[in-house]
């Protein structure tokens, strides 16, 4: 569906949900996630490709670097108009004081759609212990600072009652009504400390809609933190209750446990929007999600856990034999969305990981992809050996499979059996290996050799026994490691070259 015309305080299509990305502001507040101005500009360019409605570019008064980053983003990305007229809103964040607001305006005023977002705490605990101000003082400051922001020439002002989820409802309705009268166009309702349950947050949004004078003249936004792991659920409940701007970050990064994840919120709406959310939709080009995720991961150093929804390494990978069998027959049996829909183009077979839980059909499929056409009895035999190896390794690699198939197809009679192996390593780049091999007649043979590494020394010792002067080194490595696993001999990873 087409993105509706941008009007600061109104969305013409009631089913459209604006996406505000705060990766460059709240996301950067993750410990160790600081980025350079040029890295932030790169991410802003990618957010433009993603189709984010609103980019919260930073906190201009926090440092010279942040001011410069916000200014660069405003001047470039904030003026980059697509063929369909899309250009993102660029936000500069400010506390409720004139210096912050003026600095934010100076950083964003060159964008086609600049917005100032100004905040002040409204919960009893914040007003008493952090601000040391009364309700009346906070109410007066909020209205005055929104009017000041509008007086600078900014016709798009967002107001944020910090810690709204723990604020007294009556005071919350009052202060929101006051800033609407002062000229706010968006009111952002944050669960600053991630304390609410989804049904509580949904009711908070519904109550604000029902009890705040003038609320129909602004867009309601959500900003949910993940302290209890509920940021995405709360954000979606906020949308169901009437919020039409959702604040998110790429990969869910942010202060403490992070924010609602853009990819999860957007794909939940895309996947279930028609049937579960009465047709709610966004303007996000989801095919840029995966690339954006990887860029943010690289620039911030905030690594995505393997089981992270949608963008984690395991998100579209199957190891269970039952799952693999179903997936091979029809991918939708275990994948609710195709990975291509978020821009993840996987190679053939990359949806399957071979391990101890894998089944015969997954093994057969991977062997076919490696070029092996085996008979049923050969597959059955390889499968038994595969299971033996899989019990001792987390993942069975293609090299392991090649060794297993070679052993099955050639049916070579065993001439030697590995008895024992001992390797000694040190700091001289020399290793000593002692190997015991048992010949076909049952005799034991022991040899010792020095080499440039544990594998080299082990093979030299083997060579002394079998007296083979030339052999395929790489092929023997695979075979030797296979026998090591099969015979339950283990090495520390530090013992290998």
Residue 317's pLDDT band (cuts 50, 70, 90): confident
- What confidence score (pLDDT) does residue 480 get? 53
Does the pLDDT at position 473 exceed 60?
no
pLDDT digits (tens, 9 = 90+) for 228-243: 999 999 999 999 999 9
Nearest to 223 by CA among 190, 265, 264: 190
Whole-model pTM? 0.78
In this prediction, residues 337-360 reach a mean pLDDT of: 77
Does the pLDDT at position 469 exceed 50?
no
Residue 250's pLDDT band (cuts 50, 70, 90): very high
- What confidence score (pLDDT) does residue 412 get? 55
- What confidence score (pLDDT) does residue 53 get? 98
CATH number of 18-300: 3.20.20.70
Q: Given CA atoms 335, 340, 343, 349 in this order, what sign does their dihedral have? A: positive
pLDDT digits (tens, 9 = 90+) for 187-220: 999 999 999 999 999 999 999 999 999 999 999 9
Nearest to 463 by CA among 478, 475, 445, 481: 445
- What confidence score (pLDDT) does residue 409 get? 57
- What confidence score (pLDDT) does residue 186 get? 98
Torsion-angle region of 349 (φ positive above 0: left; ψ -120 to 50: alpha; else: beta)? left
Residue 182's pLDDT band (cuts 50, 70, 90): very high
* pLDDT over 70, % of the chain: 91
- What confidence score (pLDDT) does residue 495 get? 35
Residue 482's pLDDT band (cuts 50, 70, 90): very low
Using DSSP's 3-state secondary structure scheme, residue 449 falls into strand
> If you ran DSSP here, which 8-state letter would residue 140 be given?
H
Q: Which regions of the chain carry the CATH code 3.30.160.740?
A: 414-490
- What confidence score (pLDDT) does residue 320 get? 72
Q: Which residue has the higher pLDDT, 24 or 31?
A: 24
Residue 470's pLDDT band (cuts 50, 70, 90): very low
Does the pLDDT at position 494 exceed 60?
no
Q: Using CA atoms, how far apart are residues 332 and 335, in angstroms rounded to an integer? A: 5
Contact 415, 397 (CB under 8 A): no
Q: Which residue has the higher pLDDT, 114 or 346?
A: 114
Q: Which regions of the chain carry the CATH code 1.10.238?
A: 321-409
- What confidence score (pLDDT) does residue 474 get? 43
Does the pLDDT at position 355 exceed 90?
no
For 151, how many CA atoms within 13 A lie in the half-sphere containing its CB? Answer: 10
DSSP string, 274-342: HHHSTT-B----GGGHHHHHHHHHHHH--PPPTT-TTTSTTTT-B-SHHHHHHHHH-GGGT-SS-GGGG
- What confidence score (pLDDT) does residue 351 get? 66
Contact 226, 251 (CB under 8 A): no
Q: Which residue has the higher pLDDT, 448 or 387?
A: 448
- What confidence score (pLDDT) does residue 57 get? 98
| Answer CATH for 321-409 from 1.10.260, 1.10.238, 1.10.3470, 3.30.450 | 1.10.238
In this prediction, residues 333-350 reach a mean pLDDT of: 80
For residue 35, how many other CB atoms are within 10 A of its CB? 22
Contact 260, 224 (CB under 8 A): yes
pLDDT digits (tens, 9 = 90+) for 253-290: 999 999 999 999 999 999 998 889 999 999 999 999 99
List Cβ<8 Å contacts ≥24 apart for 210-213.
Answer: 211/169, 211/173, 212/173, 212/176, 212/177, 212/180, 213/173, 213/177, 213/180
Q: What tokens were used for 98?
A: 């004139």
Q: Using CA atoms, how far apart are residues 88 and 78, in angstroms rounded to an integer? A: 6
Average pLDDT, the chain: 88
Q: What are phi and psi for residue 188, nearest 5 degrees?
A: -100, 125
Taking CA atoms, 54 is separated from 151, 190, 241, 335, 492, in Å, by: 22, 17, 21, 31, 51
Does the pLDDT at position 471 exceed 70?
no
pLDDT digits (tens, 9 = 90+) for 373-427: 888 888 888 888 888 887 877 777 777 777 777 766 555 566 788 889 998 888 7
Q: Which regions of the chain carry the CATH code 3.20.20.70?
A: 18-300
Q: Which residue has the higher pLDDT, 184 or 275?
A: 184
pLDDT digits (tens, 9 = 90+) for 160-176: 999 999 999 999 999 99
Contact 356, 400 (CB under 8 A): no
Q: What tokens were used for 83?
A: 């063929």
Does the pLDDT at position 441 exceed 90?
no
CATH 3.30.160.740 fits 414-490, yes or no: yes
């Amino acid at each position: 569906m087409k993105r509706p015309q941008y009007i600061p305080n109104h969305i013409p299509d009631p089913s459209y949900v604006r996406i505000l990305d705060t990766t460059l502001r709240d996301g950067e507040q993750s410990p160790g996630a600081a980025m350079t101005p040029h890295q932030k500009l790169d991410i802003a360019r990618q957010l433009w490709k993603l189709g984010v409605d609103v980019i919260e570019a930073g906190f201009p008064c926090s440092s010279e670097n942040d001011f410069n980053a916000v200014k660069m983003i405003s001047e470039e990305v904030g003026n980059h108009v697509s063929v369909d007229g899309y250009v993102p809103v660029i936000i500069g964040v400010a506390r409720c004081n004139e210096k912050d607001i003026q600095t934010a305006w100076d950083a964003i005023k060159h964008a086609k759609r600049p917005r100032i977002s100004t905040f002040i705490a409204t919960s009893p605990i914040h007003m008493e212990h952090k601000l040391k101000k009364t309700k009346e003082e906070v109410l007066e400051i909020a209205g005055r600072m929104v009017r000041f922001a509008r007086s600078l020439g900014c016709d798009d002002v967002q107001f944020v009652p910090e810690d709204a989820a723990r604020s007294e409802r009556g005071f919350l309705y009052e202060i929101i009504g006051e800033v609407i009268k002062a000229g706010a166009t968006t009111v952002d309702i944050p669960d600053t400390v991630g304390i609410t349950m989804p049904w509580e947050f949904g009711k908070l949004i519904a109550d604000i809609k029902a009890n705040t004078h003038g609320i129909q003249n602004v867009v309601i936004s959500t900003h949910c933190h993940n302290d209890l792991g509920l940021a995405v659920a709360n954000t979606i409940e906020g949308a169901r209750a009437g919020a039409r701007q959702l604040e998110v970050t790429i990969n869910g990064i942010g202060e403490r446990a992070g924010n609602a994840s853009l990819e999860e919120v957007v794909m939940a709406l895309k996947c279930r929007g028609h049937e579960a959310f009465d047709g709610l939709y966004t303007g996000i080009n989801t095919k840029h999600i995966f690339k954006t995720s990887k860029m943010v991961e690289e620039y911030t150093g905030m690594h995505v856990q393997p089981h992270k929804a949608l963008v984690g390494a395991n998100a579209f990978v199957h190891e269970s034999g039952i799952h693999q069998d179903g997936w091979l027959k029809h991918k939708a049996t275990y994948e609710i969305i195709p990975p291509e829909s978020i821009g993840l183009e996987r190679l053939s077979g990359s949806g399957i990981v071979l391990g101890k839980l894998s089944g015969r059909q997954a093994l057969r499929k991977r062997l076919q992809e490696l070029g092996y056409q085996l008979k049923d009895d050969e597959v059955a035999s390889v499968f038994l050996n595969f299971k033996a190896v899989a019990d001792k390794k987390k993942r069975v690699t293609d090299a392991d499979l090649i060794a297993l198939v070679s052993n099955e197809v050639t049916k070579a009679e065993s001439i030697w059996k590995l008895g024992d192996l001992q390797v000694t390593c040190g700091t001289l780049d020399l290793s000593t290996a002692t190997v015991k091999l048992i010949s076909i007649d049952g005799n034991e043979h022991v040899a010792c050799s020095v080499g440039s590494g544990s594998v080299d020394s082990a093979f030299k010792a083997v060579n002394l026994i079998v007296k083979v002067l030339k052999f395929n080194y790489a092929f023997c490595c695979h075979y030797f490691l296979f026998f090591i696993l099969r015979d339950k001999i283990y090495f520390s990873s530090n013992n290998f070259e």
